Amino acid sequence: MTRLSYLHEPGVLHNLHDRYRADDIYTYTGTILIAVNPFQKLPHLYGKPMMEMYRGTPLGDLSPHVYAVADASYKAMRMDQGKSQSILVSGESGAGKTETAKLIMNYFAFMGGRTDDDRYVERQVLESNPLLEAFGNAKTVRNDNSSRFGKYIQIQFDVHGRISGAAIKTYLLERSRVVNINDPERNYHVFYQLCAGASEEEKAKLNLKPAQEYRYLNTSRCYELDGVDNAEEYRRTRQAMDVVGISKGEQDNVFRIVAAILHLGNCTFVGEDEAVLKDEKAEEHLQSAATMLGVDAAALNKALTTRTIQTLEGSITSPLSPNSAAEGRDSLAKTLYSKLFDWLVAHINRSIGQDESAASHIGVLDIYGFESFKSNDFEQFCINFANEKLQQHFNEHVFKMEQQEYQAEQINWSYIDFVDNQDVLDLIERKPFGILDIIDEQCRFPSATHEELALKMYSTLKENNDPTKRFSKPKRGQFAFTIRHYAGDVTYEANNFLDKNKDFVVVEHQNLLSNAEQALTRGLFPIEDPSFSPNKKGSRAAYKFSSVGTRFKEQLHDLMSALATTEPWYVRCIKPNAFASPGAFERGSVLHQLRCGGVLEAVRISLAGFPTRRGYGEFLDRFGLLSSPPWASAKLTKVDDMRAATDQLLEVAGVKGYELGLTKVFLRAGEMAKLDKKRRVLLDKAATRLQSYAKRYLVRAEFLRVRHATIVIQAHTRGFIARRDFEHRRQEKASIILQREFRRWLARRSFLQVREAAICAQSYYRGKAARKRALALKYEKSAITIQSNWRKYTLQRDFYRHRRAAVAIQCAWRVRSAKRELRRRRMKAREAATLLRDKAVLEEKFTHATATLEKVKNQRDELRRDFKEYKVLLENVKDDLAAETEKRKCLENDLLNSNSAIEELKAELLEEQEGRAADCESLNASLAELCRKRDEREAELLSDVEALTNRISELQADLHREVQLKEAAQLSEAEAHASYEAKAAEAISLQKRLDETPSQRDPLSTVDETRLAQNGNVGNPPRHQAEAEVKRKRMQLERQNEDMDSLLKVLAMPTEEVGFTSDGIPGIAAVTFASLAKWRAFEAERTHTFDRIMGAYARAVEKANNEENDATLAYWLSSNASLLAILHSTLRAASGSSARRRSSGLPSMFSRFREGLTSSRKSSEDDGDDGQKTSGKIEARYPALLFKQQLTALLEHVYTLLRDSAKKRLQPLLDACIAMPRAGRGGAHRANGTPSNSAQAAIAPWNEMIAVLQTLLESLRAAHLPSLLMKRLFSQTFAFINVYLFNALLLRKECCSFSNGEYVKTGLAQLEAWVLAAKGEGLVIALDELRFLRQAVTFLVIHQKPKKSFDEITHDLCPTLSIQQLYRISNMYWDDKYGTESVNPDVLSQMKRLMAQDNAGGEAGIAFLLDDDSSIPFTVDDVAGTTLPRTFDRGHLTLPEAIVGDPSFAYLQMET
C-alpha cells in the first residue's frame, strides 16, 4: 500500500475492501502483512503448489501472501549468518491469528522438513493445539474461542536449514479467570468439557455434577456455545493427550485436579471471626476436593481456615475470617490451575523434542490483541499493557527500517516524529507511583478496598505524576479510571482489581500438597519449589504475597527480551465484521483495527518521509517521455547517468518534493500523482498526432491501390474481349463437327437400344416362365415334406401317448393284480398255518390214544419242522414288504410245495378223523368254551380302552379349561405349571396301561388265531402290525441318514466336479431340492435336515472366501439363487400349521393305537397313497419356511463377499490411477504418434482393471449366474469406480488438471470398449453408473472454458453434477498442458451465490462427495422371477452327470 498514489486512511481502507471482494485477503504495508479473515475456505490460496510458487521468490515480486513473509524470514535466517527471526501475529479475537500461525508452521515444515522422519515437528505442534485450547481458551464478549494466553513457538533449525526441534513457550495466562468470570463470558473450556463429556463411571469417581452447580462456573449464564458439543470436545482433548504422550493414568490425574478446582469453588465459609464450612454440601465438596488431590480432608480444611506463624517462642495458629479463607481458597485454585497448565506445556515440549544445539530458530508469536469493551476489568488492563509493549516494539522497528533505507541511499532527511507510547508504559509499570505499584501496595493491606484503590490512584497520578495526561477520571463511574492508549481511550472499573491481583502462596498449602498421595499433585508442588521459600525461624509471615500484575510484567519483560534477540516480521490480522459472515466488510471496525494494530501509524510514518520510491531504471522507463529530449533507461548504462537524467526530468516537470539516492528516487506524498497526470496529458497529445498521420497514410494508400487496380482491370478487359471473339469462331467450327458426329451417335444408339430391348424382353419372359415352373416344383416338394413330417409327428405323438397310457394302465393293473395275489397268498398262508396248528393239537391229543400212528407221527414231526421254517420265512415276508421279486417267487414256490404236502396230510387226517368223531366233538366243545372266554376278555379290554380314551379326553378338556382360566383370572405361573404336570402324569400312566393291554392277550392268542383261521379272517394282530410299522420306520430313517451323508459329500465336493444339469441349473441346487422333496422334508413339523444342509453351505462358502476363489463364490451364488427360485415357485405356507404344531401330542398316540387295529388292506392302501406324487405347490411347514429365509440371507452374504472381493481387487488399481505422476501422463505419445513407455505404464492400471473385470465376468458366466444378479453386481462395481475416482478428483488438486482429465478419459474409453466387446446388456446398463466421472472429465478437457455460460455448463456439459461439485472443480482446475484459465469469474460468482442461497435455505449440510452404495440391490421376488429357465419343470428335474452314475443316489435316479 506504500505505492498507492493517494496514501491516506480512505485510500488504505478502499484498497483493502477491493482486495477483500476479490478474495485477495493479504496486503503489504511495506514489509508488514495485513491478513483479513475471509470466514470461509479459500483452497486456491494454499497448498504445496502455492508453497512452490513462493519458495525463493523475493518479497514483493508476487502477490502478498503469508507464505511470502515466512519465506522472507527463512531466507533472512539462512543468509544473515544464522540470525534468529520472529513473526509476530497479532489482532483481536476472531481475526484468524491461530490459523495464520498454522499456515506459517506449514510453510516452515515444507521448507525444512525431514522426509525420512515420520514424526514431523509441525504435526506434533499442531496436534497439541486442541489440548492447549481446552486449558487456555475461553469465551469472551467478542470471540467464543479466545486464547487467554500468549503462545510463542520456536521452530529450531540446524546449520543446513532443516528443522531439528521445536519448543512452545506460553506467556501471560489469565489466572484470575479461574475464580472470577463476567456474564456472558465463560471459564476455560476444559471445565465444561469435563462436566458434559465424562462417562458415568468417571462422573462417579470425580463426584461430578452439572456445570450449573459450581460457583466458579455459574457466575455467568453461558454454559453452551453455538455449534460446539462439549462432550465431543472432551473426547478430542483426550485424543490430543494421547498424541502428546500423556498416559491414561496421568490423564486421570489431570482431570482429578480439574475436578478438585471445581469442588474447591463450592467450599463456602461463614462465621464472624472464625471461618467454618457453610453447610453439608460445602463439607461434601471439601471431601471430594481432598480425595481428588490425594490429601486428608481435615488437613485441607485446616489449611484453608487457619494460618500458622512461626515465632521465637514457637508456632502460633490463628483462625481466618470467612473473607480471608475465601481468598486463600481462590489463591489455591489459581495456583493449581496455573501449575497444571505449565506442566501440560512442559509435557508437550518433551513430546515434541527440543534441540539445545540448534543453530538458529524462527519464533511465531500468537498473542491476544487490544481489547476495549463496555466494561473493562483487570484482565483487559493486563492485555492492553502487553499490547502497549508490543506496539512500542513495532513502532521502533518500523521507524528503524525507514531510517536504515534513508541512510543506505544517503539522502538528505530529518528524523520523523512518531507516536511514542513510553509514557503510557511508565504510567503503568514505573516505580514508585505506577499503577501496578499502587495496586500491589493496596493488596498488601488485608482490609484495603477498591474505593481506597481508586482514591489512591486519583490522588497520586492525576495531580503530580502524570504530566502527559494519559491518566484521567471519567465523568461517569465512581471508581473508574481512563487511560489514553495508543489505540484509544479505555475506561477500567477498579471494583475487582484487588481481588484479581492477589495470588498468595500459603505455606500450609505448599506443605500439604507437597506430601499428597497423588503423584501429579506432588510433582506440581515440590518441596524445593523456587517459587516459594519456607519460613525461616523467627519469621512472622504465614504466606508469601504474589502479585498477578507483577508476575505478568515479568513474563512480558522475558517475552520482549526474547523478541529483542530476533529480527521481527509483522502480520496484522483483521476481523472484517463482528458476525463472522463471509463477504461482509464493516469499514468502521476495520479502520479501528488498523489504528490499533499500528498499520495507519506505519502509513503516517511513510507519509512523513518519502513514501513513494522507485529505481532509476523503472522511473525513467515510465516518466522519461516528460523530459526534452525523452530519456529511457535502455539508453543509459551507468547509475550516475540515470541519476542525472532523473534530476533533469524532475526539474523539467516542476517537482519540488524529491530526493535522489544512490539507486532510487524518493518522492513526497502526492508527487507521483502529479507526474502521472502530466504523463497522461502528454500521451493524449501524442496519440492525437499519431492518429492524424495514420489516417492520412491510410487514405493515400487506399487511393493508390484503387488507381492501380483500375489500370489492371482495363488491360484484362481488353484481352478478355479479344480472346472471347477468337473462342467464338473456333467453337462455331467445332460445333458443326460435333453436330454431325452427334447425329450419327444418336442413330446408332437408337438401333442398339431397340436390339437390346428385344433381347432383354425375350430373356425376361423365358426366365419368368422357368422361375414359375421351378417355384411350383419347390412348393410341391415343400408341401410333400411338410405333410410327411406332420404325419410322422402325429403318428409318433399318438404312439408315444398310447404307449405311455398303456404302460401306465399295465403298471396300475399289475400293481393291483400283485396286491390281489399277495392278499390271496397271505390268506392261504394263514389257512395253512391254522391247519398245521390244529394238526399239532390233535396229534398231542391222540398220542396216548393210538400207537398205530407212529408213521403219521413221524410225518407230523417232519411237517412241524417244515412249518417252523415256513413260519420264519412268512415273518420275513411280513417285515420286508419291499423285498426283491426273486425272493418273493422263491417264497411262493416254497408255499406251493407246502400246500401240496398239507393237502396230502389233510387227506390222511380226514381218514383218521372219521374214526375219532367223538373225540373231536369233545374237543370242539372245549374249543368253543375257550373262544367264549376269549370273546369276553376281549370285550373287557375294549371297554377298558374306551374308558381310558374317554378319561384322556376329559384330561385334555381339563387342561384346556385351566389354560383359559389362567388367561382370564391371571393365575400364577407356578400353579398353572403344577396343575399341568399332574394332568400330564395321569395321561402318561394311562398310556402305559394301554401299552400293557395287548400283552394280556398272550394266553388266548392261540385260540384267537384258531378262531380267526376258522372264520377266514386275514387280519394281523395289532401288536404285530405295530412292531412291523416300527421296524419299517427305523429302516426308513437309517436309509434317509445314509442318503443325507451322500448329499453332504456332494456339497463338500469341488464345484467344478458337480457341474450343472442339462437345463443349466447348478447341480448342487438340483440335488438338494430333489433330496428334500424325496424325503418329504418340506412337510415335516420337526427336522434337523435343513440345519445340516445350511451348515454345509456355510462351510463351503467360508472356505471359498478364505481361499479368495471368486469362481467358487460365483457358483454358490448361482446355486443359492436357483434353489431359492425353485423353493419360491414350489412351496406355499401351510394354513394352520402353527396351530397344529402347538397342539398336544397325547391324542395322536391313541389315534395311532386305534388305527393299528384296522385291517391290513387299509394300511396297504395308505402305503399306495404315500407313493403317489402330488401336483401343485407343496404346503411348507415352519422348518421349510425358516430354511428359505436362511437361504435368502446366505444368498445376500455370498453376493456381498463377491462384490467386496471385486472392490478389493480394484482399489489398488484405482489408487495407482490416482497416484500416476503428471509427467508420465503428459508424455503419453512420442513425436511419431506411437505410445511411449511412460504411456504404457500410465495406462497399465486401466488394462489391469479391465483384466480383473474380464476375469469376474468369465467366472459369472461360467457359473450361469442370472442376468439380474450380474447386472446388479457390475452396476455396484462401476458405481464404486465412479465414487472412488470422482472423490479423488474433488479432493486432490493434482487430479483436477487438463492432463489428468485426458488420462482418465482415455481409461474410460478403454473401459467402454471392453463393455461393448463383452456383449452384455447388463454391462451396458451398468456403464451409466460412471456418469459423474464422465461428465467431470468432459468438463476438464473442454477448451475455451471462460466462454462457457452457466446454463451451458449446468444443462449441456454437466447436468448430473451439483453446484457444489461444479464450484469445487472450477476452483481447483489448473491447465498443466496449455496454461488456459478456468471458467468465467461471473459463472463462479453465480455458483457461489446459489450455494449461499442453498446454505440459507437449510441445505448447508449437503456434501459434494459421493457415497458408495453397499446395500443389497435385489429382492427374493426379483431372483425368483429371473433365475429359472422357462422350460423348468420340478416334476421332471434332471440331475448332473456326476450324480447319475453314483449308486449313493439311487433313490434320486429311480425318481428321475
Identify which has the larger pLDDT, 566 or 636: 566
Task: Examine the pLDDT at 1006 and tell me if it is beyond 50.
Answer: no
Task: Label residue 825 by pLDDT band (50, 70, 90).
Answer: confident
- Angle subtended by helix axes 507-514 and 322-352, to nearest 10: 50
pLDDT of residue 853: 59
Q: How far is CA 132 from the centre of its chain?
A: 29
pLDDT of residue 928: 67
Q: Which residue of the set 122, 371, 388, 1329 is catalytic?
A: 371
CA distance 648 to 629: 11
pLDDT recorded at residue 248: 92
Q: What is the mean pLDDT of residues 1250-1271?
A: 87
Q: Report the candidate in 945, 1347, 980 with the shortest Cα–Cα distance to residue 1153.
A: 945
At 351 the pLDDT is 85
Q: Which one has a higher pLDDT value, 1034 or 553? A: 553
Q: How far is CA 121 from CA 111, 127, 156, 352, 1062, in A?
A: 13, 10, 10, 6, 69
Residue with cell 492520412: 696
pTM recorded for the entire structure:
0.48
Q: Is 315 a catalytic residue?
A: no
Catalytic residue check, 1112:
no
The one catalytic residue in 27, 143, 1010, 1282 is: 143
Confirm if 806 and 830 have CB atoms less than 8 A apart. no
Catalytic residue chosen out of the listed positions 93, 387, 633, 1087: 93
> What mean pLDDT is reported for the chain?
79
- pLDDT (average), residues 1384-1390: 87
pLDDT in tens, 112-143: 765 544 445 666 777 788 888 899 999 987 77
**Residue 654: all three cell numbers together:** 516542476
Q: Which of 136, 265, 369, 597 is catalytic?
A: 369
- The number of angstroms, rounded, from the C-alpha of 981 to the middle of its chain's C-alpha atoms is 56
Whether 530 shows a pLDDT value over 90: the answer reads: no
What is the predicted pLDDT for the residue at 1016? 40
Average the pLDDT over 419-426 and give the result: 82
Report DSSP state, residue 609.
S
CA 471 – CA 696 distance, rounded (Å): 77
pLDDT surpassing 50 at residue 994: no
| Of 30, 94, 434, 1320, catalytic | 94
Residue 939, classified by CB atoms within 10 Å of its CB into exposed (0-12), middle (13-18) or buried (19+), is: exposed
Task: Give the phi and the psi of residue 572 in degrees, each rounded to 5.
Answer: -100, 115
Q: 1120: which 3 cell numbers?
A: 443359492
Which is nearest to 888 in space by CA: 948, 825, 931?
825
In this predicted structure, what is the pLDDT of residue 555? Answer: 84
Q: Is 143 a catalytic residue?
A: yes
Phi then psi for residue 875, to 5 deg, are -65, -40
Q: pLDDT grade, residue 259 (50/70/90)?
A: very high
pLDDT of amino acid 337: 93
Look at strands 658-660 and 664-667 and give their pairing. antiparallel
Is position 106 annotated as part of the catalytic site?
A: no
pLDDT reported for residue 894: 66
CA distance linking residue 997 with residue 937, whole number of Å: 11
Q: In Å, how far from its chain's centre is CA 691?
A: 69
Q: Are 1349 and 1387 in contact (CB under 8 A)?
A: yes
Angle at 1446 between CA 1443 and CA 1452, to 5 degrees: 65
Taking Cα atoms as reference points, which of 304, 377, 378, 320 lies closest to residue 547?
A: 378
82 has pLDDT over 80: no
- Does residue 422 carry a pLDDT above 50? yes
What is the C-alpha R_g of the chain?
55
pLDDT-based confidence at residue 1032 (cuts at 50, 70, 90): confident
Which is more confidently placed, 1079 or 49?
49
Q: What is the pLDDT of residue 653?
A: 83
Choice among 73, 86, 147, 1297 that is catalytic: 147
Task: Return all residues near 595 (Cβ < 8 A) that are at least 6 apart.
Answer: 487, 488, 601
Q: What's the farthest any 2 CA atoms get from each other in the chain?
A: 181
CA distance 51 to 1081: 74
**Residue in this structure with the C-alpha cell 392302501, named with its chain if needed:** 1165
> What is the distance between the alpha carbons of residues 285 and 291, in angstroms, rounded to a whole number?
10
Which one-letter DSSP state was computed for residue 1428?
Answer: S
Question: CA angle 1075-1078-1082, nearest 5°?
Answer: 85
| Model pLDDT, residue 999 | 38
1138 is catalytic: no
pLDDT at 344 over 90: yes
pLDDT interval class at 855 (50, 70, 90): low
Find the catalytic residue in 5, 15, 98, 308: 98
- Catalytic residue status for 73: no
953 is catalytic: no
Amino acid 874: pLDDT: 66
At 1185, the amino acid letter reads: L
Give 1086's DSSP letter.
S
The answer on pLDDT for 494 being more than 70 is: yes
The CA distance from 16 to 36, in Å, is 8
Examine the residue annotation and report whether 146 is marked as an active-site residue of this protein: yes
